[in-house]
Amino acid sequence: MDQIIHRVVLVEDQPKDAQLLKTYLEQQSGFIYIATATGVDDAIDLIPRCLPDLVLMDIEYGNGNAFDILNALTPLSFKVIFVSNFPEYALTAIKFGALDYLLKPLDPLELRTALAKVVQSSNVTREQLRISQSIFIRSAILGG
């Protein structure tokens, strides 16, 4: 089975944190870094143009927060993992369908585990597609 490559956009306003995320991400098989947005307006513009499969995002920016971005881009066409200094936003993140909520300073093992959730959810989707195709082909052959 071919490996799915997940396109990733970062939304992080701290250059050091963005570089660290990018470095960790580049060490993971099956993920490709696309771009970094540094704030709300930048992310709202960049994400639809890049069409990522996954967005790794901080919570607070100088001009708003991650939920402003997600509200502007609803319905979401990508998965989200939050990487934040603020544990108090975790429940809200879950309500937005976050796959994971990681706290800074980022632990590379926790990021690897979170990225495995992305792969797992993609494998489920791929299996569902395969089953649907099989059912469609079978019904076409049987005329029905």
> In which domain, by residue range, is 45 found?
6-141
Flag whether 30 is in a domain: yes
Task: Count up the domains in the chain and report the number.
Answer: 1
Q: What is the CATH number of the domain that holds 110?
A: 3.40.50.2300
Tokens, residue 30: 């099956």
Is 59 part of a structural domain of the chain? yes
Spatial CB neighbours of 70, under 8 Å, sequence gap ≥ 6: 76, 80, 96
User: If you search the block for the tokens 């143009």, which residue do you land on?
Assistant: 49
Question: Could you tell me the two tokens for 65?
Answer: 């927060």
User: If you count them, how many residues does the chain have?
Assistant: 144
Predicted confidence (pLDDT) per residue in 1-54, tens digit: 467 899 999 999 999 999 999 999 999 999 999 999 999 999 999 999 999 999
Cα 21 to its chain centre, rounded Å, is 13
For 59-88, how does the pLDDT look when each residue is reduced to its tens digit (9 = 90+)? 999 989 999 999 999 999 999 999 999 999
Angstrom distance (rounded) from CA 42 to CA 25: 21
- Using a cut of 0.75, tell me whether the model's pTM lies above it: yes
